[in-house]
Structure 1
Amino acid sequence: MKKKLLNLLLACLAGAFTACDKQNMPEAIQIQKPYTYNDKYYENLRAYKKSDHQIFYGWFAAYSHKEGVVAEYKKSASWGEHIAGMPDSLDFCSLWMGIPSNKQNDAVTTYNPIAYEEMRKVREIKGTKMLVPEITRIAKYPNFPKNDDGIKMYADYLVKMVLDNDLDGLDLDYEPEGDWISGDNFTKMVALIGQQFGPKSSRPDKYLIIDYYTQLPAAAVEPYINYLVNQAYTQGTTTTSATFLQGRYNSVAAWCPTKKYIVTENLGEWWENGGSPFTEADGNTFNKDGKQMYSLEGMARWNPTQGKKAGWGAFYFDRDYNTQVPYGNVRRSIQIANPSVR
């Protein structure tokens, strides 16, 4: 009897300690849990992207390893480093670190089956357009001769990259810096690609876009392109303004309509606050909350004096994920330019 009572007492004590142990143990929490939506949400999202609105345009790189890192492919736990984690309202994504692919040992694409599957689903479900970026310099391709045949070879190569990977178009980065593909030669290449992609092409569902910093492409490219994207970056300064943006547009206003013009900030350098301090044309420097306005929001609010712009965006916009609210600056700027219907 005493033995039974002792066993019962030990069992009770064990239960008490177990309960106490469970009570003091920290609960496991899921740090990042993506939102899920029904089919109607995505149907409305795709319809929005086909509507007349100002587009958000961005270069995305977080799906790839940093330069110098040797690994098979990135398997990140952070939702900010996944294509599936990009803001739903993003219109155009330029795949800055290469075309994600499920093919190994391919000279053109980047092997990353995770990013590849996410890219395909984001295109299909969210209607986000995926672009192949190319800094257009023929010097990178010594097998292409510097004549009209070489221009055609280069154009065909770029078109093939898009078609072979079933993507939505080309983002031609025009920063020739003395390269042979500049001026008239660049225009010739744009005209050739323009037969395949863009508003004058046999495939108008494929986009032809030019982005540039300060070296201007020739006016003759305009009929062939969907959009002209200016790298209106805050480079080496601490502030920017509507006056600066207006000057950038004025340099191409004679030939580029406002409906094709996009301005972009460099969030790779200025991500902490969503850009650099911004001053509007009337001298205002505050957002609606009475706080300092920054350039991503300023670009969303700004339009040329000549008419409404096509859109705005950012280089390395993925770094905005690391702010207090993931993609808070990007999402807020989208709401400013395209307020939700209540």
Structure 2
Amino acid sequence: KTDENGKQVPDTIFLADNINEENLQYYARYAVKQVVDAEMDGMDWDFEGWSSSNLLPVIKECYKYFGPEGKWPEKLIIIDYFGGSPSSDMNPYCDYLIRQAYSGQGTGAAFASGWDTKKQVMCEAIHQKPNGGNVESYAAWEKGNKGGCGGYSIRFNYNQDRLGVPYGALRRAIQIMNPAIKK
């Protein structure tokens, strides 16, 4: 198989003997092409299954196209993770780092060390947690100095609130991060 320049490339990079920086960069360029061709807003790399040493060359290569100096600077580069966070060496090349707290094993405020707090987004498994779980705590953390907070399966928060307010936990989280102007 050949790339756009006629250079021989492997059919896959997922075999242990094919993982090297050149193949990882090729994979990144392939992913960039998929995002651009589909007219998406950017890419979200799931850190599960990657090592930081393998993901870093991919993120750096994507940044050449989607970063401030790239051809498509408006496109986002996002990494999400569950459990251990990726190396902060990727911080300069990412727009957001999203912590998935989508199960009882993954909740709690374990923010990524060495990462800019303005890039960090904490997400809660609302469908598994009564009253929205930790989403309000995530909203209050580093108030005004974080990427935000979010929820997974928010439809389950519609009628789950202890005060009887539809989407109550989400509404309170929004107010914590962006209070209504009082007239």
TM-score, length-scaled by structure 2:
0.75
**CA offset at residue 170 of structure 1?**
1.1
Q: What is the 5 A alignment of 1:102-251?
A: 143-144=12-13, 145-176=18-49, 181-199=50-68, 201-233=70-102, 235-236=104-105, 244-245=108-109, 248-249=110-111, 251=112
**CA offset at residue 320 of structure 1?**
2.6
Equivalence for 1:73? none
Give the letter aligned to residue 171 of structure 1. D
CA distance in 2, matches of 1:328, 1:341: 19
Contact 1:199–1:225 (8 Å) recurs in 2: no
Give the letter aligned to residue 265 of structure 1. E
Secondary structure of the residue aligned to 2:65 is coil
Q: Higher relative CO (CA 8 A, sep ≥ 6), structure 1 or 2?
A: 1
Equivalence for 2:132? 274
**CA offset at residue 331 of structure 1?**
2.6
5+ residue gaps, structure 1:
1-141, 276-294
Give the direction of change, closer, same or farther, for the CA distance of 1:317–1:201 in structure 2 (3 Å limit): farther
The structure with the largest alpha-carbon Rg is 1
Equivalence for 2:175? 335
Equivalence for 1:308? 145
CA distance in 2, matches of 1:149, 1:333: 43
5+ residue gaps, structure 2:
1-10
Give the direction of change, closer, same or farther, for the CA distance of 1:236–1:262 in structure 2 (3 Å limit): closer
CA distance in 1, matches of 2:158, 2:29: 36
Secondary structure of the residue aligned to 2:55 is helix
Q: What is the 5 A alignment of 1:43-82?
A: none
Q: Deviations over 1:280-321 (max 9, x none)?
A: xxxxxxxxxxxxxxx1112112228xx822211122334334
CA distance in 1, matches of 2:154, 2:64: 31
Equivalent pairs counted in the alignment come to 166
**CA offset at residue 191 of structure 1?**
0.4
TM-score, length-scaled by structure 1:
0.43
Identity of aligned residues (%): 36
